[in-house]
Amino acid sequence: MTWHEIERAQLAQALLDVTPDAPTLCEGWQARHLAAHVVLRERSPMVSAGIAVPALSDRAEAAITRLADQAATEGAYRDLVARVADRPARWHPASWVGESANVVEFFVHTEDVRRGAGPVPARELDAGLVEALWSHLPRAASGRLRPVPVGVVLVRDDGIRHHLRAPKADHGTVIVRGDTGELVLYLLGRGAAADVRVEGDADDVATIEAVLPSR
């Protein structure tokens, strides 16, 4: 199995471990909304487009809400989670991109569910998964970092570092330290639930924290 397939199974299990109305780290979404998002991202061209195209976001959100509303009972919710566990249709672009688009997505959404009700112990991540997340993190985080003018250097707890972006004029560079999984969560907008340290000049730290707040 590939890492994104393993993380898909982890996500499905995390969803089964909670109730349909369990909180998640995604503002306004319960577990059933997150499950609906994953299903429609892989099966509805309109919803998958709505993730990237602001003009379609309201329609995509409405479709997610409709499907989530249909999964309010335990039985319907389990049926929806079974669809999360299934691979997407072969015709859908999500079935073509595999690891590059999905390993970070499924890891983050698993943690959205696990940490939705409050702090929990971090998962023990296989070394292979750590490297898969690390290799795909720059691309996955690029959109979140676009408005950030400071430079960003990531430093894993094992000392490995990556210069993620150079600073723009009149700005310095911040260092973000943490385990790889925690760095992923921080850079994907889950900093309030991630165990990271942001270091640098106070003004530069405040600048990145305005976009990507940490604990």
Q: Does 201 score more than 90 pLDDT? A: yes
Helix (H, G, I), strand (E, B) or coil at 189: helix
34: which 2 tokens?
């997150």
Q: What is the pLDDT of residue 50?
A: 73
Q: What is the pLDDT of residue 5?
A: 93
Angle in degrees, 0-180, between the axes of helices 3-16 and 99-114, rounded to the nearest 10: 20
Per the CB < 8 A criterion, the answer to whether 156 and 34 are in contact is no
Q: What is the pLDDT of residue 44?
A: 79
How far is 175 from 160, CA to CA, in rounded Å?
Answer: 12
How far is 25 from 194, CA to CA, in rounded Å?
Answer: 11
Each residue of 100-154: pLDDT tens digit?
A: 779 999 999 999 999 999 999 999 999 999 999 999 999 999 999 999 999 999 9
Q: Does 53 score more than 90 pLDDT? A: no
User: Confidence class of residue 51 from pLDDT cuts 50, 70 and 90?
Assistant: confident
Each residue of 169-197: pLDDT tens digit?
A: 899 999 999 999 999 999 999 999 999 99
User: Confidence class of residue 95 from pLDDT cuts 50, 70 and 90?
Assistant: low
Go through the domains of the chain in sequence order and give each one's CATH number.
Answer: 3-114 (no CATH), 137-211 (3.30.1050)
